[in-house]
Amino acid sequence: MKKTITLFCFVVSMQTLFAQTDSIDIKLQTILSEKNDDIRIGKLYDYVLLIQELDPNLNLLFAQKLLLLAQKQKDKIAEAFAYSQIGYQGYTTGNNNKSLEYSLKSLRIAEGINNSSVLAIVNNRLGHSYNLDLNKQLKIYQTAFKESLKTNNFTIQFITCTNTGSTFIKMNVLDSALIYLQRAEQISSKAKKIPFIGNMFSLTGKVYGKLKNQTLAAAYFNLAIKEMSQFNSPRFLTGVYTNIATYYNDEGQIDSCTRYAKKAIEVVEHTPFTNEVTTAAKLLMDIYRNKNNDLAMKYADMYRIANDSINNLKSIQQNQLLTFEEDLRQQEVATEKIKATEQRKQNIQYALIALGIIILLTLYLLLSRSFITNTKLIEFFGVVALLIVFEFLNLLLHPFLERVTHHSPVLMLLALVAIAALLVPLHHKVEKWATAKLVEKNKQIRLAAAKKTIEELEKKDDESL
């Protein structure tokens, strides 16, 4: 009955989440409209934690939508979060190179923002990428935890602290692991609800198991089961059961190991997390190998299918990531084209303004009857005007020429030479006309000046007589 209720609750949760798929854009718009940076990043974090635990396939879709929206709105905090989420996707698919690439890209953006919540999340995700270098991973997790303590977000503090303790377990430094896990437990008591507290209890039980304290190990494992059952996360609940089964296997308690290994398999049946059964299936395969060939074969097949499922899932998710990268590249290309078009329009306007100024100044010099103008000045303005007209035509016709010539450099050059060949003779004609006009104007000015001088002299002679 309990299994039926759990499965029903999970199905309801999945249906709710699928209903949210169509509204991710609306949800993100609502979150990104929040002006307070810490609140905005907290809401993003809470939302993505729900998606990760109920449907891993939505994780990359969420990151894609968030990244494009963040870039559109120039929200650096959301952009850093999106890149870190893509890095996390690389980690879950086993592609450490991609995980590290996007996590480092996220970190560079986050360092420019200098927001502790973002730095904590980004460093925490970056730490996942170094699962083969535990010393490096530990250092990054500790940095994430240090940054998280500068915030009021207990979820971020809890997760970064727990991950630090988990790395100490991998390094078999149990005293330090226990210190961090106990610190995480203290942090969880300050918050209303921590979604992954069961994972922390499971890790604590694992530490006490290694320390041969069976009473505390069993107590924390029971707490882990209780919390994860309430949270209704098949992935983490099967992880708890697997940790317990491994502990009992190490203790030589085969019956208990068998019971919890089977629970680990049952809890993820008919869910998107069936590939999580590998460790439990292998434990059962080894247990039944010399006792029951049929059961040994059953769990061997389950182990093989789970491994195949993991490989297939990794392949699918890596293909999704490659597809996303191409979509992102196309988006960047489209953005650059828009920028180039806007810049070209702006340059055309500048060219028209400059040409208008040159033409007005030249006309003023030609038509002004107040002073004599040097022909060299007109020639200079004529050359400048020619260059501006050429640049204007180049800007105006460039897209058309690219289409016609199919981006051929040789044909583009010939087209521009042809334009220049038409402009230069026209320029010479205009310049010749302007020079003639200027010479005529200068003669008229000189003649008028001479007449005025003669008239003034004649007037003086008359007065002297």
Domain that holds residue 360: 339-458
Q: Is 198 within the bounds of a domain?
A: yes
Q: Is 39 within the bounds of a domain?
A: yes
Q: Is 154 within the bounds of a domain?
A: yes
Q: In the listed set 331, 362, 395, which residue is the last one of a domain according to the structure?
A: 331
Same-domain pairing of 224 and 344:
no
Q: In the listed set 264, 297, 331, which residue is the last one of a domain according to the structure?
A: 331
Each of the 465 residues of the chain gets a pLDDT tens digit; together they read 433 433 334 444 444 444 455 578 888 888 998 899 889 998 998 888 777 666 666 777 888 889 888 988 889 999 999 999 888 877 876 777 888 889 999 999 999 988 999 999 999 999 998 988 999 999 999 999 999 999 999 999 999 999 999 999 999 999 999 999 999 999 998 877 777 788 899 999 999 999 999 899 999 999 999 888 877 778 788 888 998 999 898 888 988 989 998 998 888 887 777 777 888 888 888 888 877 777 777 777 777 776 666 666 666 666 777 777 777 777 777 777 777 777 777 777 766 776 676 666 566 555 555 555 566 666 666 667 666 776 666 666 667 677 777 767 777 777 777 777 776 777 677 666 666 666 666 666 667 767 777 777 777 766 665
Q: CA-CA distance, 56 to 60, in Å (whole number)?
A: 8
Cα dihedral sign, 120-96-299-283: negative
Q: Is 464 within the bounds of a domain?
A: no
Q: Is 397 within the bounds of a domain?
A: yes
pLDDT value at residue 381: 62
Q: Is 465 within the bounds of a domain?
A: no
Same-domain pairing of 166 and 291:
yes
Same-domain pairing of 216 and 259:
yes
Exposure of 101 by Cβ count < 10 A (0-12 exposed, 13-18 middle, 19+ buried)?
middle
- H helices present in 149-213, as ranges: 154-170, 174-188, 197-210
- H helices present in 93-173, as ranges: 96-113, 116-128, 134-148, 154-170
Query: What's the number of domains the chain is made of?
Result: 2
Q: CA-CA distance, 52 to 365, in Å (whole number)?
A: 74
- Closest CA relative to residue 395, chosen from 424, 355, 335: 355
pLDDT value at residue 221: 92
Same-domain pairing of 239 and 347:
no
Q: CA-CA distance, 142 to 176, in Å (whole number)?
A: 12
Q: In the listed set 298, 331, 364, which residue is the last one of a domain according to the structure?
A: 331
Q: CA-CA distance, 331 to 337, in Å (whole number)?
A: 10
Same-domain pairing of 427 and 291:
no
455: how many CB neighbours lie within 10 A of its CB? 10
Q: Is 463 within the bounds of a domain?
A: no
Exposure of 216 by Cβ count < 10 A (0-12 exposed, 13-18 middle, 19+ buried)?
middle
Same-domain pairing of 200 and 253:
yes
Same-domain pairing of 156 and 304:
yes
Same-domain pairing of 297 and 346:
no
Contact criterion met (CB below 8 Å) for 82 and 121: no
Same-domain pairing of 309 and 348:
no
Same-domain pairing of 243 and 349:
no
CATH number, residue 117: 1.25.40.10
pLDDT value at residue 169: 95
Same-domain pairing of 324 and 347:
no
pLDDT value at residue 251: 87
Task: Work out the angle at residue 83's Cα, subtended by the Cα atoms of residues 277 and 98, and round it to the nearest 5 degrees.
Answer: 60
Same-domain pairing of 70 and 160:
yes
State the pTM of this model.
Answer: 0.66
pLDDT value at residue 104: 93
Alpha carbon 98 to its chain's center: 13
Q: Is 274 within the bounds of a domain?
A: yes
